[in-house]
Homo-oligomer: A and B are copies of this chain.
């Protein structure tokens, strides 16, 4: 297995981008990553994308973006794992390079979510849950996470304020990120006073509907050491795991076992443990999700994710900064792009390029991307080479 490194990343301003189509978004982020890497050819590309069929009536995304980048006939592969599509695309690109099939590979993630009405987006997102057992019976995604939040509060003593503090922290970080969709800072009162979506989750506990894309360029480590224009960031760990699709079929709806397994596999491959990680981007599609993911990854004890947040340990400058980018909550959540944007944030942090958000002396970062209510999860560990 060849060692693999990231030599370029590209991120664009996320939001409601009425003047850009799905292909425009992917191409814009990809060209930025290519410029950042300074390469003049790409051997293959991947596209993480969740539900372009339902959002914009377009499948065949790998070929589409290869064409619109002017790169046909290179291989173009679209990978889907609901909201973990971006992280999984990165992992597929990693295996492509590691296998020796291709050398310089572009991995992008993209989603164009605002070209449907509100109900259309809710339906498309619900296809990440079990259609026959959950969606058919009327549940929505905020409803499923609300049940997880309520159970976590009952079982572990997590409070309404803990949830709010996740949102407040992530907006504080996102306010310093020029590519974030919602850059306003928040107070816990504002989170708790905002409109209720699914009790206990208010709209400021939920990540938004977003148009966006992100991209990275990877290649074999030995090649990176010769051609990279910036600090070489090595991919040392990768993990991918699944869990029951439907929430009611799980042993414990307050524990994300696919996140735990994907994290353990990534730690094992990297020869690292939670204490060795300097920052982590986790999948805070809802505030409760951040609390549960930092527990499953071993940064907080079981049931103590809210308390870790309350103690300030997950803020920039804290023991383990979580979602320095602003997370899905503030930066936005174009579902197929999110996992790749997590890679972008960690790479920039490890290069020391994060300005006001910089985690000082960061040498090793982690990403955790999640599909559905945790039926899939993909983790990566990246290190300064």
Interface residues of A (CB under 8 A from B): 1-2, 21, 23, 44, 50-54, 56-64, 66-68, 71-82, 88, 92, 95-96, 98-101, 123-124, 127-132, 135, 238, 240-245, 249, 257-258, 261, 371-372, 375-376
Cα–Cα distance between A77 and B92 once the two chains are bound (Å): 9
Please name all residues of chain B whose beta carbon is closer than 8 Å to the beta carbon of A95 when the two chains form the complex.
Answer: 92, 95-96, 99, 101
Please name all residues of chain B whose beta carbon is closer than 8 Å to the beta carbon of A245 when the two chains form the complex.
Answer: 60, 63-64, 67-68
Q: Is the CB of A50 within 8 A of B59?
A: yes
Knowing A57-B135, A60-B81, A81-B62, say if A72 contacts B242 (CB, 8 Å). Answer: yes
**A-B contact list, 29 entries, CB within 8 Å:** A44-B240, A50-B59, A58-B127, A60-B82, A60-B127, A62-B80, A63-B258, A63-B372, A63-B376, A67-B244, A67-B245, A67-B249, A68-B245, A72-B241, A73-B242, A75-B240, A75-B242, A77-B79, A77-B81, A77-B240, A79-B79, A79-B80, A79-B92, A92-B92, A95-B95, A95-B96, A95-B101, A96-B99, A101-B238
Identify the closest chain B residue to A335 (Cβ). Answer: B59
Q: Is the CB of A127 within 8 A of B92?
A: no
Q: Which 7 A-B pairs have the closest CB atoms?
A: A99-B99, A75-B240, A60-B82, A63-B375, A98-B99, A1-B100, A58-B131
Please name all residues of chain B whose beta carbon is closer than 8 Å to the beta carbon of A376 when the two chains form the complex.
Answer: 60, 62-63, 76
Minimum C-beta distance from A189 to chain B (A): 36
Please name all residues of chain B whose beta carbon is closer than 8 Å to the beta carbon of A80 when the two chains form the complex.
Answer: 59-62, 78-80
Please name all residues of chain B whose beta carbon is closer than 8 Å to the beta carbon of A88 when the two chains form the complex.
Answer: 62, 77
Cα–Cα distance between A62 and B81 once the two chains are bound (Å): 7
Q: Is the CB of A75 within 8 A of B127?
A: no
Identify the closest chain B residue to A244 (Cβ). Answer: B67
Q: Is the CB of A59 within 8 A of B261?
A: no
Please name all residues of chain B whose beta carbon is closer than 8 Å to the beta carbon of A2 when the two chains form the complex.
Answer: 99
Cα–Cα distance between A66 and B62 once the two chains are bound (Å): 24
Please name all residues of chain B whose beta carbon is closer than 8 Å to the beta carbon of A127 when the two chains form the complex.
Answer: 52-53, 57-60
Knowing A63-B371, A99-B1, say if A57 contacts B123 (CB, 8 Å). Answer: yes
Q: Select A241's contact among B23, B73, B99, B131, beta carbons within 8 Å.
A: B73
Cα–Cα distance between A53 and B131 once the two chains are bound (Å): 10
Q: Is the CB of B261 within 8 A of A73?
A: yes
Given contacts A67-B375, A74-B242, A75-B240, 14 further A-B pairs with CB under 8 A are A1-B101, A51-B53, A57-B123, A57-B127, A58-B127, A60-B80, A60-B245, A63-B375, A67-B244, A73-B241, A73-B257, A78-B81, A79-B80, A101-B238
Identify the closest chain B residue to A72 (Cβ). Answer: B242
Identify the closest chain B residue to A92 (Cβ). Answer: B92
Please name all residues of chain B whose beta carbon is closer than 8 Å to the beta carbon of A62 when the two chains form the complex.
Answer: 80-81, 88, 242, 376
Minimum C-beta distance from A74 to chain B (A): 6
Q: Is the CB of B72 within 8 A of A244?
A: yes
Cα–Cα distance between A124 and B62 once the two chains are bound (Å): 17
